[in-house]
Amino acid sequence: MSLAGALLSGDVRALARAISLAEDRDPQATELAAELQPHTGKAYLVGLTGAPGTGKSTLADALVKVIRDRGQTVGVIAVDPSSPFTGGAVLGDRIRMSRHTLDRGVFIRSMGARGHLGGLAAATREAIHLLDAYGRDVILVETVGVGQSELEISTICDTVVLTLMPESGDAVQTIKAGILEIADVFVINKVDLGGAEKTRRLIQDAMALGPKQPWRPPIVVASAAKEEGIAKVWEAILSHQAFLKDSGALTSRRQERVKQEVVALVAERAREQARRLLDGDTAVGRRLRENRNGKLNPYALAEELLAERASQGGS
C-alpha cells in the first residue's frame, strides 16, 4: 500500500514516517501532503504558546485528557526550534512518557529543525496536514512564543492559547513584546503558586489599552500540573471556535492561512532554486565563483538571477 493509503487507513507507523519525511524536508512529504489535501480541513487546530517553562506541555497533556473524555481524538505536535540537533528529542521523550502512550486516540510527536534552518515552519505545517488527513479531531501545536518566532502560530492555528505564569514577570514581558495580541485565550497557569489575580489585572489593563475587538479573549486561571481549571480552558477554546464559526472569521482565518502557506511554499522553492542556480553552471554562478576580490554586488546578482530564472521559464 502507498504511504498515503496506509496513513488514511489509520496506520500510525505510516503517519510517523510521513512526519519524519516532513522534518527532513524530503520532497516526498510535500507531495504526500498535496495528495492528502482533499482529506484535510476537518481537524480543529489549537496553538499553545508562551514563554519557556510556563507549562505548555503540561497543559497539552491535561487538555488531551479532557478532549479524550469527550470522545474526540487528538494529535499533539511539540515544536522545539531550539534543538536542531536532537530533533526535540528531550522534549519529545518527556512528553511521550506521559500516560497517553497506550491510547490510540492520542498521537504525540515533537519536531525539531534537524539542521534545516527555516524549514521548521514548513515541516510543522505539513505535519498538521498529515495529522488532519489521518483523521484527528483536534490538533494541539506547542511552540515557544517568546521573541520573534519564525513560526507564526496565529497564522497556523484556529485558536491560540497563551500561557503565562503568575508573578513571574513574564506577563509583563509578554505585554511589552506585543505577544498579547495573538492570544485568543489566556491561561494563567500554576495558580497553585499564588499571585494569579495580579497577573489577571495586568492582562486586563493591557487589553483595555488596545483597540476594541469583536472577540474578548477570556482569561482562565488553571493549574495544569494539578489538573485544575483544564475543563474551563477547553470551554474557552470551544467558545472561541463558536465565535469564529458564527462570525465567519473561521473562513477568513483559513483563507489567510492558505495564502501564507502558498507564500511559504513558493519562497521555500525559490530559495532552493536560487541555490541551485548559484551553485550550477549558470552565468551568475560562474561570476560568483570567478570573483576573487570580493567586490560583487549582491543586489545586481539577485536581479541577474531573477532574469536568468525567467529566461529558463522559471523551472
Ligand X SMILES: Nc1nc2c(ncn2[C@@H]2O[C@H](COP(=O)(O)OP(=O)(O)OP(=O)(O)O)[C@@H](O)[C@H]2O)c(=O)[nH]1
CB of 89 or CB of 225, closer to ligand X: 225
Pairing of strands 219-221, 138-144: unpaired
Q: Which stretch binds Mg ion (CB under 5 A): 48-56, 99-107, 112-120, 245-253?
A: 48-56
Q: Which is nearer to ligand X, 67 or 244 (CB)?
A: 67
- Residue 192 binds which entry of ligand X, Mg ion, none, CB below 5-8 Å type-dependent: ligand X
SS3 content of the chain, % helix, strand, coil (to 5): 55, 15, 30
Q: Which residue number, 52 or 115, has a Cβ lying nearer to ligand X? A: 52
**Of 260, 43, 243, nearest to 133 (Cα)?**
43
Measured CA to CA, the distance from residue 109 to residue 16 in angstroms comes to 8
The listed partner (ligand X, Mg ion, none) that binds 179, CB under 5 to 8 Å by sort, is none
Q: How many CA atoms lie within 13 A of 306 on its CB side?
A: 5
CB of 227 to ligand X, least distance (A): 9
Residue 62 Cβ, how far from Mg ion at the closest point, in Å? Answer: 13
CB of 224 to ligand X, least distance (A): 4
Residues that bind ligand X (CB under 6 A): 50, 52-58, 91, 144, 189-190, 192-193, 223-226
**With contact defined as beta carbons under 8 Å apart, do 190 and 166 qualify?**
yes
Q: Could you say which of 30, 57, 98, 199 contacts Mg ion (CB under 5 A)?
A: 57
Q: Which residue minimizes CB distance to Mg ion? A: 57
**DSSP character at residue 137:** S
Question: Which residue, 57 or 159, has its beta carbon nearer to ligand X?
Answer: 57
| C-beta of residue 41 within 8 angstroms of C-beta of residue 133 | no
> Can you tell me the distance from the alpha carbon of 107 to that of 279, in angstroms, rounded to the nearest whole number?
41
144 Cα distance to chain centroid: 10
Summarize as ranges the residues that interact with Mg ion (CB under 5 A).
56-57
